[in-house]
Amino acid sequence: MNVRLMCMVTLALCAVGMAPAAEDADKAPATGVSAPPPAAGEDKMNIDLVRPLDGKGGYVRLEGRDLFLTSDVNAKAQQAGFWFDVEPDPAAPALVDKSLSGAWDIAVAGDYAFLCDYTKALFVFDLRNRQWRQAAKLDMPSMTENIVIRGKLAYIANHTAGLTIVDITDPEKPAIVGKINPRIDCDGLALSKDCVVLYGHHESRLIMVDVNDPAAPKQVGLYQHDKGSFNQGEVAVVGDFAYCTSVNGLVIVNITDPANPKLVKTVEVKGVNDVQVAEGYAFVAAGANGIRVLDVTDPANPVEVGRYADRGPLAASEVAVRRVADARGNAAPSGYYLYVANRRGPAVVMLFRPPDRKRVGP
């Protein structure tokens, strides 16, 4: 392992303590312990490196207790994916399997995982007995890129075919129930109430699709950003706002009225690849610029409250987030574990300790 990374990990472990026991998995991490001084080339604020994971990959997805780390599909040199369990100890996920298929995205419903691997098929895997067994394959109209599941329906970003909606009532017999093709390079999607927000990379466009009737989805709105600025990244939706990756940083769009989405803010972040939003924080994977955390309580005025960068061993391609509950029962979390896919080496676990938010009003 890279000697420099090992030194960083050793310092970080001194700050957060050894991994907690299984029964303390959701308790607050140690507080009142000074963070280690930055290592050479390290730039950090409110984020500490906890440990590397025993696996590499460019894509990461956290689904309940299951953490998946996967790589691009490469027929000539297939890189296996990794499956971890974060339940016993979120600071030190336990390896379950290291023979997963290559994939761009994975979602879980019950005992089944649904995998998008940029081929013209949706794959279903049975996770029972903590094993990875293929259970079904469904032909799709174009390459599968991104998937979100709500109830018994899976919504899939289908490259040149737009949105495909799949009934997964019987996971081993999935069936297409609806689709719509708005003629975009559909790289990602997110759900907002009864709408699906499609992210069009090549066109730098968001398409709003009403899915009240899954068998007959219909386009109801469009947001056009600067052409050539979206970057084959991701879109996340929380409340009335969509957060999109772009070559210029993080683009925030108000989608309160799906028929008339409006730009709220573009936050300059170099190298942004992925964004996850939780509890008023936007967690951004920014390549060689590492991880950035923005307080987006006011989406029109984001404030950077966390960062971690090391231009040597870290190139953050995606991030997954798990809340650390406060052991004393306080409403505010005492931290967030960040699981970061790394293009330059092993994936890593980080810990973001949010600063106190200023009270607004009386």
Look at 50 and 331; give whichever has higher pLDDT.
50
Answer with the residue of higher pLDDT: 37 or 6.
37
| pLDDT tens readout for residues 222-271 | 999 999 999 988 999 999 999 999 999 999 999 999 999 999 999 999 99
Based on DSSP, count helices (H) and strands (E) in the chain, helices before strands: 1, 29
CA distance 320 to 302: 20
Q: Is pLDDT larger for residue 101 or for residue 285?
A: 285
Helix (H) or strand (E) holding 14: helix 3-16
What are residue 332's phi and psi, to 5 degrees? -75, 140
What does the pLDDT look like over 286-297, one tens digit per residue? 999 999 999 999
Give the pLDDT band of residue 276 (cuts 50, 70, 90). very high
Q: What is the mean pLDDT of residues 128-153?
A: 96
φ, ψ dihedrals at 13, nearest 5°? -65, -35
Determine contact, residues 305/294, Cβ cutoff 8 Å.
yes
Residue 160 sits at φ, ψ, to 5 deg, of -85, 0
Residue with tokens 């899915």: 211
In this structure, are residues 90 and 334 in contact, taking their beta carbons and an 8 Å threshold?
no
Query: Do residues 137 and 126 make contact, with C-beta atoms less than 8 angstroms apart?
Result: no
In this prediction, what percent of the chain has a pLDDT beyond 70?
84
Cα separation of 342 and 291, whole Å?
A: 11
Tell me the pTM: 0.87
303: exposed, middle or buried (C-beta count within 10 Å: 0-12, 13-18, 19+)? middle
182-203 pLDDT, tens digit each: 999 999 999 999 999 999 999 9
Distance between CA 269 and CA 275 in Å, rounded?
11
- The structure tokens listed for 87 are 């339940």
The reported pLDDT for the residue numbered 122 is 98
Cα 130 to the center of its chain, rounded Å: 23
Q: Which percentage of the chain shows pLDDT scores above 90?
A: 78
- The pair of structure tokens assigned to 292 is 């950035």
> Whole-angstrom Cα distance, residue 246 to residue 253?
12
